[in-house]
Structure 1
Amino acid sequence: MSKLAIKGHWIETILVALLVGVTILSVGWHIYRYGGAYYYMEVNGSSGSFPVTVPVGITQNGYVYRGTAKDKYGNRKHLEFRTVADDLGPFHKGQIIRVTYNLKFGVTNYKEVNCDHVPPLARFD
């Protein structure tokens, strides 16, 4: 390529660099804000309920769950989480919930898992 052709592509180079930078910052923020350690908690029933307004403007009940959870090493932690409008629950007694716990933001995510997906040291026998 000639020097003239390379000089003509400086805008594209800057735009690609900005796109890569924004992508890296976005992924980094997502990991910082929503990442964390997985804990597994067996549901023993709801500890309470509270009103949640779902996107269509209807108010439904959300649920609060408290209990002792274990990580993949068997370490115990007392956790509390509230269901959100996307997944109101309720969860039933005996279900296993994988909870993502972030040191700065607390519980950032939860989902029901099958007993087969629980690490051996985190099982509730």
Structure 2
Amino acid sequence: MNLGDREILTDLLLGAKHISTCYHHAILEAASDRSRNVLMQLHNDELNTHRQIFELMYTRGYYQVEPARAAAAGTYATSVGMGMGQQAGMAAQQMISPGMAGQNYYGMQGQNIPGMPGTYGATGR
């Protein structure tokens, strides 16, 4: 099987997204400032790599971007103007349906979050 430029660049872009997500999670879990700073620099480097791959794909027509609709742009402007408390509450209402509390992005149970229903920490284990 021969892979073309589009397939190779798509694979690189997806890999950069995955690595960036892993760095993000590692930064959140870093115990020391030194570790956090190193991870943040690596994460920024990966974000720059992702941007370069995206720009190359976009200029070659491999990555299509739809312009934002007026309604979506208005929603974004409204959410930016909100306070952090309002934003967090609204996000929780929109994104977490009953029975999903404690589940991560992939729908799996969370990891030991004390007091949060549906996680290991809530049962005291």
TM-score (norm 2): 0.29
TM-score (norm 1): 0.29
Larger radius of gyration: 1
Query: Which structure dedicates a bigger proportion of its chain to strand?
Result: 1
Where relative contact order (Cα < 8 A, 6+ residues apart) is larger, the structure is 1
Query: Which structure dedicates a bigger proportion of its chain to helix?
Result: 2
